Amino acid sequence: METQSNISFILNDKTVHIDFVKTGIRPTITVLEYLRGIARRKGTKEGCAEGDCGACTVVVAELENQKLSYNAVNSCLIFLPQLHGRQLITVEDLEKEGQPHPVQQAMIENYGAQCGFCTPGMVMSLFALYKSNAAADREAVIEALVGNLCRCTGYRPIVDAGLKACAAPLPDCFSKNETGIADRLRKIQLSTGDIALFSGGQKYFMPKRFSSALRIKKEYPKAILINGATDIALLQTKQHKILREIIDLSQIGELKKIEMKDDCLTIGAGATVEDIKEHPNDRFQALGNTATRFGAKQIRLRATVGGNIANASPVGDLIPVLMAYNAKIRYSSLDKETMTPIEDFITGYRKTILNAQEIIRAVEIPVPKENTIVASYKISRREHLDISSVNAAFRIRLNKKNEVEDIGLFYGGMASAIKRATKAERFLTGKKWTPENVRTASKIAAECFSPVSDARSSAEARQLMAANLLIKFRTETK
């Protein structure tokens, strides 16, 4: 199938075709910029331009197991080509024939708006919850709204509106058209080959196969890799950089798979954090718990496992727990495929072992040995939607004498990269898992690092948190 220079998506119920070469639109125009500047849909607001406030929330419907799945996402972090083969729904689309959607009506009846700036985003987040077709309780409503900020109402009337609308959702005005929309999206996807958009001084590639991505990366070794783009998009929206060459992996289905085989959990690099959160697996509970504290749902639905690892942030949410599980990273170039333990894969501050032609393919996590306990922790100023001051993941296996046979202590926010407290590990190995030994080890662990002071925490506080997290782990595993 030939490479094409256009994309197609459905805006509400209208199919939109955009040829980037003919129109001169730059490929990295965000969905928010497109809506407000080209489509002239002003209901979607711009607040923070970094995925924190939720004012720009829209709903993107896509095929999942041959049915439509409705996802609330931040339009300020999505590049327009990433809508290809999907349906975009904005707040303007909810009212039909003068009748508000049940979510809108509930907001009216519960006085859920004051200044109104955040209201469209709130409505779209609740609309996505409504379309999940599951009876929502207060916890589900609050989780759906974590990524939406309101400075007026105190949230109570908005939560009440969500409860009223979503406690028992009925078929709505979108339900009768879902089969037709799904067929149209399927047709777009089946007729699509690799996409190459050369416009506005940018080269934007969107291959459908991993092998195609590797060929492009060999030809364009300086190209930036994206999938969810929740981090890379900030280079444009906040730092105003021009992204000259981009390889978008979001259309590659094989990268999204999560499967259990031969006592090993394989997570494709394109699987989202929300996929991990929703993937049931009792043997990797700490990984699921970590995903729960990762951003808001709008971010989790876009952020990918591969992106979080490749970013190599010293406070990366997934990295400590993957280290604790002895995960290995599988990555490829056009010439070979390599497997490396994640501890060796990350080499420094936002640096990995990857060369300019390699792409992460998957993460492979062996099932922990019997009696092994893994736990993860995150300390941040806010419970939700915040970057860690300190995060950690610990692994331990005790023998029948309550002696430590194996232990791994991995900390984020304490150095330029995620590091383990090796001196504390050596101290504890072979000793009994007692409060006295752990208190001594906690002091040793804190002294393994020389953290810095910044806006999120002082160095002294970080060392105290590092020590106390190990003590907390002991109380949970005694």
343 belongs to a structural domain: yes
Considering only CA atoms, which of 344, 332, 468, 340 is closest in space to residue 417?
Answer: 344
Residues 392 and 459 in one domain: yes
474 belongs to a structural domain: yes
Residues 121 and 151 in one domain: yes
CATH value at residue 223:
3.10.20.30
| Domain ranges, residue 309 | 256-368
Contact predicate 445/426, CB 8 Å:
no
Helix (H) or strand (E) holding 311: helix 305-311
Residues 186 and 61 in one domain: yes
Please identify, among 172, 201, 226, the residue that sits at the C-terminal boundary of a domain: 172
190 belongs to a structural domain: yes
Please identify, among 248, 280, 308, the residue that sits at the C-terminal boundary of a domain: 248
- For the four alpha carbons of 224, 230, 231 and 235, in that order, the dihedral sign comes to positive
Residues 81 and 211 in one domain: yes
Contacts 24+ apart (CB under 8 A), 446-455: 447/423, 448/414, 448/419, 448/421, 448/422, 448/423, 448/424, 449/411, 449/414, 449/415, 449/419, 449/421, 450/415, 451/413, 451/414, 451/415
> What is the distance between the alpha carbons of residues 439 and 444, in angstroms, rounded to a whole number?
9
199 belongs to a structural domain: yes
Structure tokens at 387: 């970057």
Structure tokens at 178: 């879902």
User: Which pLDDT tens digits describe the chain residue by residue (478 residues)?
Assistant: 567 889 999 999 999 999 999 999 999 999 999 999 999 999 999 999 999 999 999 999 999 988 999 999 999 999 999 999 999 999 999 999 899 999 999 999 999 999 999 999 999 999 999 999 889 999 999 999 999 999 898 899 999 999 999 999 999 999 999 999 999 999 999 998 999 999 999 999 999 999 999 999 999 999 999 999 999 999 999 999 999 999 999 999 999 999 999 899 999 999 999 999 999 788 999 999 999 999 999 999 999 999 999 999 999 999 999 999 999 999 999 999 999 999 999 999 999 999 999 999 999 999 999 999 999 999 999 888 889 999 999 999 999 999 999 999 999 999 999 999 999 999 999 999 999 999 999 999 999 999 999 999 999 999 999 999 999 999 999 7
Residues 58 and 84 in one domain: yes
Bridge partners (DSSP) listed for residue 452? none
Residues 86 and 182 in one domain: yes
Residues 125 and 59 in one domain: no
Residues 47 and 186 in one domain: yes
Contact predicate 466/445, CB 8 Å:
yes
CATH value at residue 105:
1.10.150.120
Q: What are the two backbone dihedrals, phi and then psi, of residue 20, each rounded to the nearest 5 degrees?
A: -70, -30
Residues 350 and 270 in one domain: yes
CATH value at residue 353:
3.30.465.10
Structure tokens at 95: 């009212």
Q: Give how far the C-alpha of residue 90 lies from the chain's centroid of Cα atoms, to the nearest Å.
A: 21
DSSP 75-96: GGG-BGGGGTTSEEE-GGGS-B
> What is the distance between the alpha carbons of residues 54 and 118, in angstroms, rounded to a whole number?
7
Please identify, among 343, 368, 393, the residue that sits at the C-terminal boundary of a domain: 368
438 belongs to a structural domain: yes
398 belongs to a structural domain: yes
Residues 279 and 340 in one domain: yes
Domain count, the chain: 4
pLDDT of residue 231: 96
Alpha-helix residue ranges (DSSP H) falling in 95-254: 102-109, 119-130, 138-145, 156-166, 178-190, 210-219, 233-237
1 belongs to a structural domain: no
> What is the distance between the alpha carbons of residues 432 and 87, in angstroms, rounded to a whole number?
57
Residues 345 and 268 in one domain: yes
Residues 375 and 436 in one domain: yes
Contact predicate 352/417, CB 8 Å:
no
* Secondary structure class of 362 (helix, strand, coil): strand
Helices (H) and strands (E) in the chain, counts: 18, 20
